[in-house]
Amino acid sequence: MTVQEKYALWLEKAVADPDVAAELKAISGDDAKIEDAFYRDLAFGTGGLRGVIGAGTNRMNVYTVAKASQGLADYVVKHFPEEERSIAVSYDSRIKSDLFARVASDVFVANGIKVHLYPQLMPTPCLSFAVRHLHCAAGIMVTASHNPSKYNGYKVYGADGCQITTEAAEIILNEIQKLDLFNDVKRCSFDEALASGKISMIGEDVYSAFVEAVKGQSMLDDKTPVNKDVAIVYSPLNGTGLKPVLRTLKETGYTNITVVKEQELPDGNFPTCPYPNPEIQEAMALGMDYAKRCNADLLLATDPDCDRVGIAVKDKNGEYVLLTGNETGMLLLDYICARRTAMGRMPEDPMMVKTIVTIDMAERIAAHYGVRTVNVLTGFKFIGEQIGMLEKKGAEDSYIFGFEESYGYLSGSYVRDKDAVDGAFLICEMFAYYATQGVSLLDKLAELYAVYGYTLNTLHSYEFEGSSGFEKMQGIMRSFREGVEEFGGLKVEKCLDYDLGLDGLPKSDVLKYLLEDNCSVVVRPSGTEPKLKAYISVCAPSLEEARKVEEKITASLAGYFA
């Protein structure tokens, strides 16, 4: 079927949602917009769905959500006995998230699957927790995580609480591809399903159990004096983090907390942070203004689905410094290892898990404490899988920490995805613990660099929108695979192509170039956005020298993305 034929079919059939119908009429005669909306089906992979909200097969709307839900329902029916067929559903503050959650629930119930739905928006880690706590066959989280407001998405979780495996995603995709969007999707009445008990609201007991599990990650004991009156500014970036983060902190004694008012309440338009990602300075700017006005000791911000957390701390000049995900992760790793050792709580075979693009210095910190490191592909689900593998051996207590450079952390096995509630809680605890001793996080970070050597890690993203951008990204990856001899004057000593399935890991479109002088470059397409990402790691005696090397590598890379 051609793009224009698909468009004509949607004009005729997609009339139930007035927003979609209006947009279809509005793009009439605009071939470029029609092409972009219909040139492909919205990609379904290990991250589920993610795309721009709007009309068309390449958009997030009630029809594409319903079709994906039917495919997931068919998978559950084929792979789980009737008594085990239930799916947990949660959603964030994004535009149409609540509607998409209801649509998915309708489809599941129409296929004989019981639905456990959170009665209000809840973070991604709460969904992962509910899947395991309620013994569900699967779970979905309606979110586009940290993307701009025009996006929404649909993360799919397996019975283990992890985002689905590559194998499961392929099976579900095959089920989805069998379906006719307008004829093969089963639906029922949400209100009738709710009244009959086929959709049940997840109770306060499940939410409270999650909060208690987070509080159980504390690395403090009764013998350790800690001043918890440190001044904290917190922003949920108009997302889901407000209630669980504040509840956890307040129940554990942190009461001197100021919330960024403009970013306090859920708002899918993200009016003060168009790109609601705590990785970038623009999203943290308002929180930093608050921190200065309040003379706060620490700034925290969580992304809309509250699985990522970013921080800023005050330096000796009273200025606020944003820490990278790698820096915060290394600080947490060292804190957890040191406290476990001090309290005699280090397991017999302790394990830390990180992704291949996360800072290698973390391995040296772990080794210092006798902790082994497992490296996995990019994506926190691979960290969750490692916890699951330990659990099957009855050794889940061996897992002490996992993190990725993109601001995702998890210190326990109670969920199988990154958890910014846990991250925020442990960051506040770590900060207060060191502050009581007169040590700042910047002091501690400098100490780590002095012991383990300075390492600079940076991330550069290159956007490629639309069908032409998709083709260009593929061409760029092909050109990298044709061979690269150097970056920024540093010779490539080895190229690791993970598309070949290296180190027992699943195949993935990732290239890692090992350069001389212990430097490296990783290139990969984003799994959730129309971007190519380049991760640069530089080892040098000082920050200044590292920056010079990094700038040369960045300039060299730019030619490939032009």
Q: How far is CA 561 from the centre of its chain?
A: 25
Selecting among 90, 145, 413, 440, the annotated active-site residue is 145
Q: Determine the residue type at 546.
A: A
Task: Report how far residue 512's alpha carbon sits from residue 497's, in angstroms, rounded to the nearest whole number.
Answer: 7
Largest CA-CA distance found in the chain, in angstroms, rounded: 72
Residue type, 462: Y
> Could you tell me the CA-to-CA distances from 199 to 17, 34, 114 in Å, in that order?
22, 37, 6
In this structure, how many other beta carbons lie within 10 angstroms of the beta carbon of residue 376?
Answer: 22
494: left (phi over 0), alpha (psi -120 to 50) or beta: beta
Q: Do 556 and 74 contact (CB within 8 A), yes or no?
A: no
CB 240 within 8 A of CB 121: yes
> How far is it, in rounded angstroms, from Cα 275 to Cα 283?
6
93 catalytic per annotation: no
Rounded to 5°, angle at Cα 30 from 29 and 35: 115
> From CA 523, how far away is CA 477, in angstroms rounded?
8
- Contact status, residue 156 vs residue 240, Cβ threshold 8 Å: no
Tell me the C-alpha distance between 248 and 404, whole Å: 23
Show Cβ contacts of residue 458 under 8 Å, excluding neighbours closer than 6 positions. 535, 536, 550, 554
Angle (CA) 521-460-549 rounded to 5° is 55
Catalytic residues: 145
